[in-house]
Structure 1
Amino acid sequence: MQEHTPQLSELYAAYAAGTLSPSFKLLVETQAAIRPDIRQDLRESELLSGIFLEREQPEALAPNAFEKTLRAIDVLEDETDSAQAAHLANERLSEILDLPEPLREKALESCLRGGWKRMTSGVKRLDIAESASSHIHLYRISPGATVPSHSHYGNELTLVLQGGFSDETGSYGPGDISCKTPEDTHSPVGDDDGVCIALAVSEGGMQFKGMLGILQKVFARRPS
């Protein structure tokens, strides 16, 4: 279980005060949906600050969520073997439907827009939202798979929703948040006992190291 580091304490205080950006607010509300202790901490913070949480219970699916779910099946990755494709589609869909609100609805919409994208062997990313100031991604890390070594252009908070991963600074399980600054370089590895699903919110994109970093710089300089 994570401890409340100064960075996380400031995050929760900003949420209670109503000054947190929408991107990081989504991360805090998603964590609170799966961590009773975080829900309690937020309630206490809101009482102290005079701000009351309007939605203490998980939200029900939106009226059109069923239709979105059916359409999302169509955009899941294609496979040559139909039986395998059906199994994978059901597996991926179950993973999305198991997400807590308010993230579930946004993930379904993202599946309809573009679906999961392969980053490297065993690692996929679902783009939830992106703006000039923040990026929100959902990561799917297969057991033992490694996210390429990278740093970030800004701060990044990663909330584990399912499974777990380890990096140079420690191990993180469901409900834990990994905090990274632009000075940190890490290479997360999915735990061996199951798929890791994690929500990452960052103030800037990823800066890869090694050969991937060289390729990233080359393609970034290419004219459009």
Structure 2
Amino acid sequence: MTPLHHLDHATLVSYASGALPQALSLATAAHMELCAQCRGQLREAERIGGALVQQHRSTVVPIRGRSAMLARLDEAAPADTPHRPPQPIDADLLPACLHETFGERYSQLQWKTLLPGIRRVQAKGVREGNLMLLNIAPGMAMPVHSHGGSELTLVLKGAYEDRLGLFKPGDIADLDEDIEHQPIVAGDQPCICLAATDAPLRFNGWVSRLLQPLFKI
């Protein structure tokens, strides 16, 4: 598994500094279990985060704003870091960081129908943000939507595509309020993905908007 879509540096620095909401933090950790490149970049982000803390030790600086953080990262010019070899993966085993909130194995998940062709499992004990597993049938299209804040979507099984490209296992979509898209499941297998948000989605269709309070997404 060699992911092609990765976390941006702003998210990595926010994760390293503990500034991400719990839902986004868990999605970030799950991706890094599957991605050697982002694990290497995290080490550099931790170095930069430590330097920023030293520069601003007298001021509490929220690191959720991407524009300000990206500007600081440009100044820091992160260096390349070595990658460690990929670890073997049990096909039925969820990423270890998700075991407490979802359980250990896909085969033990209790899926609940959200819409025809879309099932989910809501995370347990997540206090900040919204975190869920989605199981979407082949060929199924999600409603067109943008975001009230940040969204991280990690593909665990299967694949989907949207205006940003094709996302396969290990790939993560790191999105903000400027992105509008419509994920569509690619191939003949269901797509299982981990979705984390820190604010409700913004749907274009009136039916989706009416149903949003019921679905809590």
TM-score, normalisation: structure 2: 0.65
Find the counterpart in structure 2 of residue 118 from structure 1: 113
2:22 paired with 1:19: no
Q: Which has the higher contact order (CA 8 A, sep 6+)?
A: 2
Find the counterpart in structure 1 of residue 34 from structure 2: 34
1:102 alignment partner, SS class? helix
CA shift, 1:211, in A, is 4.2
Find the counterpart in structure 1 of residue 186 from structure 2: 191
Asked whether the 8 Å contact 1:135–1:201 carries over to 2, the reply is: yes
When residues 158 and 218 of structure 1 are mapped into structure 2, their CA distance, relative to the original with a 3 A threshold, is closer
When residues 174 and 207 of structure 1 are mapped into structure 2, their CA distance, relative to the original with a 3 A threshold, is same
Decide which structure has greater helix share.
1
Distance in 2 separating the partners of 1:212 and 1:23: 27
Cα shift readout 1:38-61 (whole Å, capped 9, x = no counterpart): 22222343355569xxxx9xxxxx
Find the counterpart in structure 1 of residue 5 from structure 2: 2
Find the counterpart in structure 1 of residue 200 from structure 2: 205
Find the counterpart in structure 1 of residue 133 from structure 2: 138
Cα shift readout 1:142-194 (whole Å, capped 9, x = no counterpart): 22112222233222111112221111332211222213333433221111142
Deviates more, 1:153-162 or 1:131-140: 131-140
Distance in 1 separating the partners of 2:149 and 2:48: 30
Distance in 2 separating the partners of 1:144 and 1:12: 32
Note the aligned Cα RMSD (angstroms): 3.2
Gap runs ≥5 in structure 1: 57-93
CA shift, 1:18, in A, is 3.0
CA shift, 1:34, in A, is 1.0
Alignment of 1:1-224 (within 5 A): 1-2=4-5, 8-47=8-47, 49=49, 97-108=92-103, 115-129=110-124, 133-213=128-208, 215-216=210-211
When residues 128 and 169 of structure 1 are mapped into structure 2, their CA distance, relative to the original with a 3 A threshold, is same
1:144 alignment partner, SS class? coil
When residues 3 and 132 of structure 1 are mapped into structure 2, their CA distance, relative to the original with a 3 A threshold, is closer
Distance in 2 separating the partners of 1:217 and 1:107: 23
| Identity across matched positions, percent | 30
Size of the aligned set, in residue pairs, is 172
Distance in 2 separating the partners of 1:50 and 1:214: 42
TM-score, normalisation: structure 1: 0.64
Code of the aligned partner of 2:11: L
When residues 49 and 182 of structure 1 are mapped into structure 2, their CA distance, relative to the original with a 3 A threshold, is closer
When residues 216 and 98 of structure 1 are mapped into structure 2, their CA distance, relative to the original with a 3 A threshold, is same
Asked whether the 8 Å contact 1:150–1:185 carries over to 2, the reply is: yes
Distance in 1 separating the partners of 2:212 and 2:21: 29
When residues 186 and 129 of structure 1 are mapped into structure 2, their CA distance, relative to the original with a 3 A threshold, is farther
Deviates more, 1:22-31 or 1:150-159: 150-159
CA shift, 1:138, in A, is 1.0
Code of the aligned partner of 1:148: P
Asked whether the 8 Å contact 2:24–2:198 carries over to 1, the reply is: no
Distance in 2 separating the partners of 1:108 and 1:174: 19
Code of the aligned partner of 2:130: H
Asked whether the 8 Å contact 1:122–1:145 carries over to 2, the reply is: yes
Gap runs ≥5 in structure 2: 52-83, 85-89
